[in-house]
Amino acid sequence: MTKADIVNEVSKNTGIERVTVQKAVEAFMDTVSDSLVEGKNVYLRGFGSFIVKKRAEKTARNISKNTTIIIPEHFIPAFKPAKSFVSKVKDNVK
């Protein structure tokens, strides 16, 4: 499912115009990404959490040049689904 599919589904289910729904979806995505950039997690009860994870520094290998490189510690965005969401998917997907 793409963003356009989500916009169409929400528009169909609520009766709100597609343009308005698209603006709301994009505003939600912008708000979540801006919060994560600031280091703030976003919690949606019953759905899940958008969190910032810290990756530790590690040593990696460049096989083609036979050298080692150090990847510094960094932060990545992640999504952790709520238990109710996980169980709903687990029970209903075939």
Write out pLDDT tens, residues 25-73. 999 999 999 999 999 999 999 999 999 999 999 999 999 999 999 999 9
pTM, entire model: 0.79
Per-residue model confidence as pLDDT tens digits over 11-24: 999 999 999 999 99
Domains plus CATH for the chain? 3-92 (4.10.520.10)
- pLDDT of 93: 87
**Angle at the Cα of 57 from the Cα atoms of 35 and 34, rounded to 5 degrees:** 10
Burial of 7 (0-12, 13-18, 19+ CB in 10 A): buried
Cα dihedral: 65, 69, 74, 76 (round 10)? 30
Task: State residue 18's pLDDT score.
Answer: 96
Q: Which pLDDT score, from 0 to 100, does residue 94 have?
A: 78
In angstroms, the Cα distances linking 35 to 28, 51, 60, 72 are 11, 9, 30, 23
